[in-house]
Structure 1
Amino acid sequence: MPFSEAEIEEEQTHFANVIATFRQYARYSLAANNRRRKDYFTLPIEDRELLDSLKYKEKLAAVDHAILVNAQFINEIVANPEIFGDDVDSEEEGQAKGMQNQEDSVPNSIIKDSPCFIGHCHPEDNAHPHGHSHSSPLEGHSHSYEGPSRNLSSAVSGRARYRPNDHDMEKLRSTLKQLVRDWSGEGIEEREATYTPMKSALLEHFKEIPQTERGNLRVLVPGAGLGRLAWDVAKLGFTCQGNEFSHYMLLASFFILNRTDEIEKHVFYPYVHSFSNLPDNTAMLRPIAIPDVLPSSLPEGSNFSLVAGDFEEIYGSDDHDGESQAGQWDAIMTCFFIDTAKNVVNYLRIIHRILAPGGIWINLGPLLWHWENNTTNDPSIELTLEEVKDLARKMGFHISNERTIDTTYTNNTQSMLGYVYHTAFWTATRAA
């Protein structure tokens, strides 16, 4: 259906605000660190001398340096991201150069066809308390949808420059930790705990299919985040499509997948934004290098794509890009995803409808219902694990291979605090 001018403007404005958040990361983060300096100078001189003996001021200087390194990396992510076009916002261009080292063009808001991306993009709900992170009970993940192409600069011209708040910055900080989880050597433990059993279940289900014929099998990964699970599935030879909503995730994943040509090319400091629960300075100040694999190393002839769009709107409609979705997916892999639903009944209904006869639904995740107690008057249906499984059976699924898998999510492995999710794993097939 056509989009109203208000919806178009909302999309453009939201994306402009996301870009502003990326660009103002350094200013915002340096100001937060400078608050610690101000607090230091409120102390009695004898207390400051004791902190000096601990090299407290040197630690603050090291954090400043890490923030500037992060800012350079973050600015590279939003430098001419071709998925959104290449229009330049003249108002923003050139501002904060001294703070952020560079200023790049503000892109258009619509994803274009590319080696790893197809589809369209839609604004995230700014009031939604989740980026794509499960690092604490207050964080989560998100998604997006088809929208009409417009020049982004027209949406931001003539209005005040957007000032990101801590909620915006938390989405960006969460994206940095997601990069660790999906694309670093440090993230291997979390990926082994979550992605490995899902990939093993996929291979087991299709073990009778020769490896050379896996490309005929279509696998969907909704809530794909930064794309590593979908990439891994394509690496196994399957035709794989990821689906993601968050502009933060889409910008970062496009950069990694399409603009990174060396292993460990990018270095950043994801843990410098909090001084809590640290056993030592290394836990906060250690650099992380990404990616741990070469994204372009997929086998020749691989079929891998990411679609930006709201899962329900893209896959729940009668057709997508002129193609009916009913029964078109041989496997659907939901990892930390089903609890993002406002209406989990519809999520499961869509999964059942688009799964091919003989196909498999592989699920792993907790039930951190993302819209519970929301302040936007959005509906939210929250079920227990047993209720979710009973609902799936009523929808026509046969559930098997149930077990609990313990895992962290975007965890700082050297922190004194870590949340462990007792995630539910199962495989399910459609009843005939």
Structure 2
Amino acid sequence: MPIDKNDIEEEQIHFANVVTTFQQYAAYALTANNRRRKDIYTLPKADQDLLIGLGYREKLAEVDKAILANAAFLNQVVDNPEIFGHDPDDFDDGGENVDGPTHQLDIFQVSHSQYQGHSHSHSHSHGNHSHSHSTPHSHGSHSDPRKRPYRPTDSDMDKLRSTIKQFVRDWSEEGKVERDVCYEPMKKALLDHFGDISAEEKSTLRVLVPGAGLGRLAWDVAHMGFTCQGNEFSHYMLLASFFILNRTERVGEHTLYPYVHSFSNIPNKTAMLRPVSIPDVSPSSLPPGSNFSLVAGDFEEIYGEEHEEGEPQAGEWNAILTCFFIDTAKNIVNYLRIIHRILAPGGVWINFGPLLWHWENNSSNDPSVELDLEEVKELARQIGFEISNERTIDTTYTNNSQSMLGYVYHAAFWTATKKAA
């Protein structure tokens, strides 16, 4: 399919807007916190005195400091946006750039599909039980971003806050409990399926992790000795994963304050202001000879696109691991068809997650097919999968473990093998 010039321009504008969102985080978050500070002085003097006596103003000052620390980190993440082929002069720098480490790992590829105008991004936002959709047209003016600075929307900032929490989930010691609930059953199922394969042969087995987010599950699989490729489309996740995987040199190198954006359901100041260090492992500590890559682009376009000479991905993957992914589909039939088609004979599909259909009730007029769990499994059987090892596993998602509120997903887990033709 030819790449349309307008689609490329639209994608570049969207990417520039995402970078600007990172850069404008401090101004946005400090303004929100300053609103609380102003609100104190709308109250009767007696009420003000009581709040001041509780140390409320001092807490707001601590939140300001935490926001500035987050901003310094986020500015490092987007300090080098030309990694995706964009000119850094395209971006209006809304914050102070902080020099980061320069160590590079060759674990990122950019697909041409990134530039075909499908700039939707997904945010589970499980902490507040919401999900969001965006398209190129929802990201502001299509004028040249160098001439007209972009003003991030509330939705943009929600995605950025979700990205901060993803750092905690995937790359911190604090996120290990939640992460292990999801990733460990998947990794065990992968090892069980290939139990008769020697350690030396593992590297010949190709594992795909679509919707890889910040890349930890894919990194773990590569660390186990498999050849592993992650795939991600969200520019927020792509920028963040590139930084953590390529520009981070030591354990605990960065400190984040992920819970300072909401004062609701907080039992005490510590629960909101506690710092989280990332990463909990060195991303460069993969064993020698590991084969690990992340590919940027749309899952359906990269892995489902057909060419005149045949589909290059067909039968090329020994395993596909989908974690909190299949509910991002507009057309779940096509998702499952692609997964089946690109698996090698006898290949395994391991799934974990809920069915929070991301495009349900969307405002962008995109189609959305929303099946219940039994329908999804029956569809998988009809497409050619044999499902086994089914169970329900309760899990949270980017949860503040010290919050007074937490949503629990009764996530579906299964192992599915591709039936012989």
Q: TM class by shorter-chain length?
A: over 0.9
Write the distance in 2 (CA, Å) between the matches of 1:232 and 1:322: 32
- Which of the numbers 329, 335, 340 marks the counterpart of 2:317? 329
Write the distance in 2 (CA, Å) between the matches of 1:270 and 1:89: 30
Match for residue 398 of structure 1?
386
Q: Quote how far apart the aligned CAs of 1:87 are.
A: 2.4
Match for residue 279 of structure 2?
291
Write the distance in 1 (CA, Å) between the matches of 2:107 and 2:125: 22
Does 2:97 correspond to 1:102? yes
The Cα offsets for residues 48-89 of structure 1, whole Å up to 9 and x where unpaired, read as 000011100000000000000000000000011452246232
Question: Amino acid of the residue matched to residue 69 of structure 1?
Answer: A
Does 2:409 correspond to 1:421? yes
Match for residue 345 of structure 2?
357
CA contact (8 A) 2:227 2:292 kept: yes
Write the distance in 2 (CA, Å) between the matches of 1:181 and 1:206: 27
Match for residue 37 of structure 1?
37
Query: How many residues are matched?
Result: 409
Residues 91 and 218 of structure 1: is their aligned pair in 2 closer, same or farther, counting only changes over 3 Å?
A: closer
Q: Quote how far apart the aligned CAs of 1:359 are.
A: 0.9
Residues 230 and 320 of structure 1: is their aligned pair in 2 closer, same or farther, counting only changes over 3 Å?
A: farther
**What are the residue-to-residue correspondences of 1:102-121 with 2, within 5 Å?**
102=97, 115-120=106-111, 121=114
Does 2:161 correspond to 1:170? no
CA contact (8 A) 2:168 2:276 kept: yes
Write the distance in 2 (CA, Å) between the matches of 1:277 and 1:35: 19
TM-score normalised by structure 1 residue count: 0.90
- Which of the numbers 221, 246, 259 marks the counterpart of 1:271? 259
Write the distance in 1 (CA, Å) between the matches of 2:365 and 2:315: 34
| Unaligned runs of at least 5 residues, structure 1 | 105-112, 145-153
Write the distance in 2 (CA, Å) between the matches of 1:340 and 1:256: 24
CA contact (8 A) 1:124 1:247 kept: no
SS state at 2:35 partner? helix
SS state at 1:382 partner? coil
SS state at 1:297 partner? coil
- Which of the numbers 229, 233, 252 marks the counterpart of 1:245? 233
Question: Amino acid of the residue matched to residue 97 of structure 2?
Answer: Q
Question: Amino acid of the residue matched to residue 328 of structure 1?
Answer: E
Write the distance in 2 (CA, Å) between the matches of 1:415 and 1:321: 54
TM-score normalised by structure 2 residue count: 0.92
**What are the residue-to-residue correspondences of 1:121-160 with 2, within 5 Å?**
121-122=114-115, 130-131=122-123, 133-139=125-131, 155-158=144-147, 160=148
Residues 124 and 289 of structure 1: is their aligned pair in 2 closer, same or farther, counting only changes over 3 Å?
A: farther
CA contact (8 A) 2:337 2:383 kept: yes
Q: Quote how far apart the aligned CAs of 1:268 are.
A: 1.1
- Which of the numbers 415, 418, 421 marks the counterpart of 1:430? 418
- Which of the numbers 180, 184, 203 marks the counterpart of 1:192? 180
Q: Quote how far apart the aligned CAs of 1:132 are.
A: 5.1
Match for residue 26 of structure 1?
26
Residues 126 and 308 of structure 1: is their aligned pair in 2 closer, same or farther, counting only changes over 3 Å?
A: closer
Does 2:300 correspond to 1:312? yes
The Cα offsets for residues 396-427 of structure 1, whole Å up to 9 and x where unpaired, read as 10000000000000000000000000000000
| Unaligned runs of at least 5 residues, structure 2 | 137-142
Q: Quote how far apart the aligned CAs of 1:101 are.
A: 3.3
Write the distance in 1 (CA, Å) between the matches of 2:313 and 2:179: 29
